Amino acid sequence: MPRITLTNVTKQWGKFTAVDNLSLDIEDGSFITLLGSSGCGKTTTLRMIAGLETPTWGEIRFDDKLMFSSEKNINVPAARREVGFLFQNYALWPHMTVVQNIAFGLETLKWKKSDIQARVDEMLSIMQIEPFAKRYPAELSGGQQQRVAIARTLAPRPRVLLMDEPLSNLDAKLRGEMRTELKRLHRDMKSTFVYVTHDQLEAMTLSTKICLMNEGKLQQYAPPLTVYNSPANLFVADFVGNPAMNIIETTAKKTSDTTAELTLLGHKAVFQANAPFDLAGDTALGIRPEFLPISDHGDLEGQAYSTLPAGMETTVKIKIAGQILSSVVFGAIDYETDQKIRFSISGAGILLFSRLSGQLLASGRISIQ
């Protein structure tokens, strides 16, 4: 199972740059998600790894073997990269039965008849689709089609499995089930998975590392929790997490290597960073909703703008100093609209960003004066 390396990969269509100078090191056996909103270049990246799209510049390697190099004029065709590709709309061949769909790739690889038979049976049983073996794709439900597509993709034992938003056409419940199965499948197969999605929850729950992209550029490449707790910049901070992080514009003045004074929601406050940091220009404070606990003796007072109980937890929208902040509270509570609420800012995971560059400057605690 190979390690995949992308070096300075760029893809342009005329003047439009879909992927901009992307370098990525995908470790052997990892489960990587390419995350971003539509048009950010994530699918293009996946297709370039598969060999379905030709990069304009750059290099792609599987282990030490060059798959593509614009310098050395190398471009190994998709068929010889031994990758599996799971398409968003499954791309099942409508004129073939489930068995024929799964066997097609093996026949192309000139496997022996008996081997094909055995492998197809094995895939049918792994994906639990034996009862549908003789059916045509049009006679299957979305979830069953999805399983057939996975079986077809995995049958030739690809070294790398590439998936392009494979769950986006399923309903919420099925999507949850398939997520669980994909994670198990990854562990059982021990091969490298690269997974494209615009759903941050999928990215958070499935992957060993998230590659977050925006407008063709890499924003952050790190394990999910790192992306969540220390987003590299304001874009990442805003994109990951639901409800989204509260971003509050502030003016900060440094008072020591690790402290700064700031005005926050009409109050004076002190920011105590976890490590020394530099400060330049305007700043913004990023606070996750779970770091705004509601309690009767909170330092800050606001009004309940709207309350959204979801059973297990409740999102409370608090209006304060002309801004609306989100707070998440465990359990179900319901506040009257415009009811006064006291809350505080807790924990050591409060983030300070530069407003100019958007980059993360420091993380630390806030104390209201």
Q: Which is nearer to other proteins, 111 or 305 (CB)?
A: 111
Q: Which is nearer to other proteins, 74 or 280 (CB)?
A: 74
Burial 83-119 (b: 16+ CB within 10 A, else e): bbbbeeebebeeeebbbbbbbbbbeeeebeeeebeeb
Q: Which is nearer to other proteins, 56 or 259 (CB)?
A: 56
User: Are 49 and 42 in contact, with CB atoms under 8 Å apart?
Assistant: no
Q: Is 91 in the site for other proteins (CB under 8 A)?
A: yes
Give the x/- contact pattern for other proteins in 145-164, rule: CB under 8 A: -------x---x--------
Q: Which is nearer to other proteins, 77 or 311 (CB)?
A: 77
> In the window 14-43, what residues touch other proteins (CB under 8 A)?
14
Q: Is 125 in the site for other proteins (CB under 8 A)?
A: no
Nearest-approach distance from CB 96 to other proteins, in angstroms? 8
**77 backbone φψ class: left, alpha, beta (φ>0; ψ -120 to 50):** beta
Q: Which of 2, 36, 105, 231 binds other proteins (CB under 8 A)?
A: 105
DSSP line for 272-328 = EESS-----S-EEEEE-GGGS-B-TT-SEEEEEEEEEE-SSEEEEEEEETTEEEEEE
Q: Is 276 in the site for other proteins (CB under 8 A)?
A: no
Q: Is 55 in the site for other proteins (CB under 8 A)?
A: no
Nearest-approach distance from CB 121 to other proteins, in angstroms? 19
* Beta-bridge partner residues of 26: 4
Q: Is 109 in the site for other proteins (CB under 8 A)?
A: yes
Q: Among candidates 40, 47, 34, 327, which has minimal Cα distance to 202?
A: 34
| SS3 at position 181 | helix
How many residues interact with other proteins (rule CB under 8 A)? 30
Q: Which of 20, 21, 52, 365 binds other proteins (CB under 8 A)?
A: 52
Q: Is 83 in the site for other proteins (CB under 8 A)?
A: yes
| SS3 at position 38 | coil
Show Cβ contacts of residue 329 under 8 Å, excluding neighbours closer than 6 positions.
293, 294, 313, 314, 316
CA distances from 284 to 89, 248, 269, 323 (A): 41, 5, 13, 14
Q: Is 48 in the site for other proteins (CB under 8 A)?
A: no
Q: Is 56 in the site for other proteins (CB under 8 A)?
A: yes
Q: Which of 108, 180, 306, 367 binds other proteins (CB under 8 A)?
A: 108
Q: Is 326 exposed, middle or buried (0-12, 13-18, 19+ CB in 10 A)?
A: buried
DSSP line for 215-238 = TTEEEEEE-HHHHHHS-SBHHHHH
Q: Which of 3, 7, 12, 126 binds other proteins (CB under 8 A)?
A: 12
Stretch that binds other proteins, among 78-86, 140-148, 299-307, 343-351 (CB under 8 A): 78-86
Using the structure block, give the residue that is written with the tokens 């799971």.
86
Q: Omega before 289 cis (within 30°)?
A: no
Give the x/- contact pattern for other proteins in 234-263, rule: CB under 8 A: ------------------------------
Identify the H or E element spanning 267: strand 267-273
- How far out from the chain centre does Cα 256 lie? 37
Nearest-approach distance from CB 265 to other proteins, in angstroms? 45
Stretch that binds other proteins, among 73-81, 139-147, 241-249, 334-342 (CB under 8 A): 73-81
Binding site for other proteins (CB under 8 A): 12-14, 50, 52, 54, 56, 73, 75, 77-80, 83-85, 87-89, 91-95, 104-105, 108-109, 152, 156
